[in-house]
Every structure is written in C-alpha cells, then in structure tokens.
Structure 1
Amino acid sequence: MDHNSKDIQLQYEGFLNTPFLWRKEPLFGLKQFEFQEKNCSTFEGNVTKQPRLGKRVERFISFELQQQDSIKLLFENFQIQNGKITIGEIDFLLQQNKKPIHLEAIYKFYLYDENFGSTEIEHWIGPNRKDNLVKKLTKLKNKQLPLLYKKEAKILLDKYNLNVSTIKQRVYFKAQLFVPLRLKNKEFKLINNTCITGFYIDLSELQQFKKCKFYIPTKINWLQNIKVNITWLNFNVFSTKIKPLLNQQTAPLCWIKHPNGETEKCFIVWWN
C-alpha cells in the first residue's frame, strides 16, 4: 500500500470513528439516517487524486452504505438541471429494506463561540467564521431536501418507478466539534457530546503549551485520528509556521502532544 492509500485508509478510519451530530430526536425538524452500522474497516472504494474533503467523505459514505445488506444504492450525486443550469444535486437515492430514501450527506468541523448567535445551536460556527450550523441546517431544510420535489427531479424518479410521495428524507450528518479551552468539560443539551473532539485557542493562549510538541495535518487529513509516529514540531518552529496562516485569516487544525505523551486535536484561531 503506497503512502497515499495508507493516508486514505487512515482518513476512512477517522471518518468511521466520527459520531453523528445528533441521534434519535430530530434537530431543526431533520431526521438522522438510521442503519445498523456494519463497518467494513478497510476502504476499498475509489477516490480522486485531488480531493476536496467533502467529496472524499461522500466516497466514504457511499462505500460504507454499499457494505450494508439492507441498503441498495440507486443513485448518487444526481445533478438537477433546468436546461443548462444546475439548480442542485441529490447526494443519494437509496432503498433501505426496499423502502426509498433521499439522503443528504454532511461532514463538518464546528467551533463553539458564545459571541456568535444567541442559542446553543447558533453558537456552532466554522473555523473561519464563514459557515455555521444553523446556516447549514437551514440550507438542508429549505434548499437541498426540497430538490426532490422539483419537476426536474422527476426524470430520476421515473427511471426507478418511484413515486415522490413514498420517499422518506433523511440526513447523514457527522461532525467534529471544538470548544474553547475553558469549556472543555461543558455538556451540551442539543448535540451528541461524543462529537466533541478537541478545543480551540488563539495565539495569546498558545504560550501555556510551550512544553508540548505539535503537528499541522493537511486539510484532507483533518479526518484522521491522531498518529503518533510522525515528525512533531517543537513550540518555536510551530509558532513560526502558524503565524502566516493566522495572518491570512486561516485557522489551522493542529495535533498537540503533551510532555506525558497524551495527544489532543486543537484549532488555533485568528478571530478570538
């Protein structure tokens, strides 16, 4: 297995280990897809060489669903077009125990910022403040899921002799969540707390970690669980590497190794 496929395998394992953002009760009226997770831990699907993280996750979900005996994938990434204009894309159309389901897939990294919004759900934002959980849930509810009911989607449904009124809609929403350092032990009411993967700090708080070692994974490797046998950076080298990123208003995800050998995931933010 070459280095790249080894990384892909580790990304897949990290993806499988990521919990769903919520469980039984719907969030924002959206129901999470439920299936008997029979995890095939070796990834044997195809991925493109130049990946976007979201696209790679779609390949992982596709592969995972194909391993389930109760699930038959009918279609994935179907472009809904009005003439030459693409108005959206249906992620997955599948049958679970022969019942049709339209499934939208999401994998996100969110940070908890009490200064953004006014409710627990509104406080979850993207690392660079361009994205937030409420915006994503709203888009799912008002734009992505309603695509199924557009007349342009009828071509797809007719192909499988499906009546739109029989199709259930679900989301597959996984997330890694990060909280401010001082809230490391906070319990949240509305989300699955096992999604909390680490914490975030700004440059002024970094000093308290000066005895630690650091690593900056590439964005596609944000999916991975922390590897230990890597070339760790000392505090000074790490500081000089992240300053230009913060100046560009990019919040890097880092792995931290404490002197006692413990490891953690952490975002360094430019905006705090």
Structure 2
Amino acid sequence: MTKQQRYFIGFVNTPLLWLDNPINGLQQFSIAKTQIPFQEKIDKNIRLGKWVERLVSHQLQQDDSIKIIEENIIIYQEKRTIGELDCLLLKHNTPYHVEIVYKFYLYDPTVGTSEIDCWIGPNRKDSLTEKIDKLTTKQLPLLYKNETQSVLKQIGLNVNHILQRVHFKAQLFIPYHLNNHNFKLINPNCIVGYYYTFEEIKTLQNCKFFIPEKLNWLSEVDVQINWLTFSEFKPQLKLLLEQKRSPMVWIKDSKGHTQKCFVVWW
C-alpha cells in the first residue's frame, strides 16, 4: 500500500468532530465514504492541511450527487489576499461553500470553563475555541465580502442561495488515566488515544516505540516499521520535549497491540 493510500484511509476513517447538533452555529457537511484508491500525485513537501484538501476533493469526486464548482478560491482586495474559500460545490443542485478542517487536539481539563475550551493543540499553540472563532468571524463571513461577490458572479452563483458548512474532522487524545468521562458536545468516536507526560511514558518501557513524521499522523499505525526499544526511543523523545515539541508516538506492546498517543512537553 502506498503512503498516499495510507493517508487517505486514515483520513476517511476519521469521524466528524461533531454530528447533528451544530457547535456555535457551525453545521457539518458529511461526505459518503469511498474506498476507491487515492492515486493523485502530490508534492510530498506540502503541509498536512493541503493534503487533507486533496483527500476531500477525491472523496467528493466519487459522489454522483456532488459537482465541484471551484476549489481554493483566493479572494483579493486590490492586490492583497484577504482570504480563501476552500470549496464551492453543488449537492443535488444546491450550492454550498464548505470549509475543510482536520485537527489534532488534546483535552486539558485545566484550560477554560467549558468542554470546548479544553481541547488544545499538542504544543498549546492553538485550540478548538480559536478555530471555531476563526471560522465564524473570518472564514465563513468571507463569502459575503464585496470582493467575493465579483468572483461568485463570474462563476454564476448568487450568494443568497449558497449554504455554508464545515467538514471538520479531528483526532482527539485524552489524559492518561482519564476514564469514563462523558463528552457531551464532541463526537466521542474521534477519541483515538491518550497523551502522556515523560514520567508516564516511562511506565511503558517494555513496549516498542516509533515517532512518525507529521504527514503520517493521518495514517493508521503501520506495524511494518523499524520499532525502537525504550532506550533507543528515549533520547529522540527528550530532544523533542526540550524543544517544546510534543510528538505523536506509535506504541506496540508485548502482545502486538498498537496505539497512537502524544507525549507532551508541558
């Protein structure tokens, strides 16, 4: 199986972060699953977010009820870029503007006062709250800017007829030892593993470890890799933590069971 196909399968199997009940007015745009292989050649150096956009595009193209109108539409004010629309499409002849999001969040119960506030990025540099705010105050309102109207007119769309949605997927990680916690707003099926401190990960010294590259965060755990013993893994991990970088780690126990996790510097 190619790396591209691994990314695609991992992406397809990632659930939407929430389902029927909108969060802050944001409604999800669901896409039918497809197992048709992803074979598009993409520059391996592009960032994960751009990979996700291509994977979504591949999915959309397999759905007979959907017609993609335009993707990655850059909006200019004079010569200055003021934003980008991820995707304009027709579903059953109804026009949609869809913003595509794929995130990795860790649950820190010490942050904020609500369930949504507590989901933060592995390095504490971003959060679910910040992303929701950006979607509701910048990315979706971009559709109604005067500069966007001329673009819509060129492709024959009336802004008053366009429905706005997000396609927001996430892999979620909860603290080691957090059990039986009831998450009311997010889709619990998005929870794929735990995160550990350095002291906690030391309790798993009998396991094998691997630190995947960022694009491989999308993938399911690949068992056909060069697993490291804890003594081999420890110096690599310590170097990252000293740089205040929280890596994703794949773990395999003595029985061959695997898990994804993060090890945090904080």
Would the TM-score normalized by the shorter structure come out above 0.5? yes
Q: Which residue of 2 aligns with 1:186?
A: 181
Residue among 7, 11, 34 paired with 1:11: 7
Is this contact kept in 2: 1:115–1:123, CA < 8 A?
yes
Q: Structure 2: how far apart are the matches of 1:261 and 1:184?
A: 23
Q: Which residue of 2 aligns with 1:204?
A: 199
The SS at the match of 2:75 is: strand
Q: Which residue of 2 aligns with 1:59?
A: 54
Q: Structure 2: how far apart are the matches of 1:77 and 1:173?
A: 17
Task: Give 1:49 deviation, angstroms.
Answer: 2.7
Would you say 1:133 and 2:128 are equivalent positions?
A: yes
Q: Structure 1: how far apart are the matches of 2:63 and 2:84?
A: 24
Residue among 163, 166, 189 paired with 1:171: 166
The SS at the match of 1:122 is: helix
One-letter code aligned to 1:23: L
The SS at the match of 1:131 is: coil
Task: Give 1:40 deviation, angstroms.
Answer: 3.2
Is this contact kept in 2: 1:110–1:126, CA < 8 A?
yes
One-letter code aligned to 2:62: Q
Is this contact kept in 2: 1:80–1:87, CA < 8 A?
yes
Per the normalisation by structure 2, the TM-score is 0.97
Moved over 6 A (4+): none
Would you say 1:120 and 2:115 are equivalent positions?
A: yes
Task: Give 1:184 deviation, angstroms.
Answer: 4.5
Is this contact kept in 1: 2:6–2:220, CA < 8 A?
yes
Q: Structure 1: how far apart are the matches of 2:52 and 2:168?
A: 11
Would you say 1:232 and 2:227 are equivalent positions?
A: yes
Q: How many residues align?
A: 266
Give structure 1 stretches of 5+ with no counterpart.
none
The SS at the match of 1:143 is: helix
Give structure 2 stretches of 5+ with no counterpart.
none
Is this contact kept in 1: 2:17–2:169, CA < 8 A?
yes
The SS at the match of 1:182 is: coil
Residue among 13, 29, 33 paired with 1:33: 29
Is this contact kept in 2: 1:145–1:169, CA < 8 A?
yes
Residue among 44, 48, 52 paired with 2:43: 48
Would you say 1:102 and 2:94 are equivalent positions?
A: no
One-letter code aligned to 1:85: R
Q: Structure 2: how far apart are the matches of 1:166 and 1:40?
A: 32
Is this contact kept in 2: 1:251–1:267, CA < 8 A?
yes
One-letter code aligned to 1:88: G
Is this contact kept in 2: 1:46–1:59, CA < 8 A?
no
Task: Tell me how large the CA RMSD over aligned residues is.
Answer: 1.1
Is this contact kept in 1: 2:111–2:118, CA < 8 A?
yes
Deviations 1:119-176 (A, max 9, x none): 1110000000000001000100000000000011112211222111100000000000
Aligned pairs for 1:141-156 (under 5 A) are 141-156=136-151
Task: Give 1:182 deviation, angstroms.
Answer: 1.1
Q: Percent identity between the aligned chains?
A: 51
Would you say 1:21 and 2:17 are equivalent positions?
A: yes
One-letter code aligned to 1:58: E
Q: Structure 2: how far apart are the matches of 1:116 and 1:214?
A: 29
Q: Structure 2: how far apart are the matches of 1:41 and 1:21?
A: 23
Would you say 1:251 and 2:251 are equivalent positions?
A: no
When residues 213 and 193 of structure 1 are mapped into structure 2, their CA distance, relative to the original with a 3 A threshold, is: same
Q: Structure 2: how far apart are the matches of 1:136 and 1:82?
A: 23
Per the normalisation by structure 1, the TM-score is 0.95
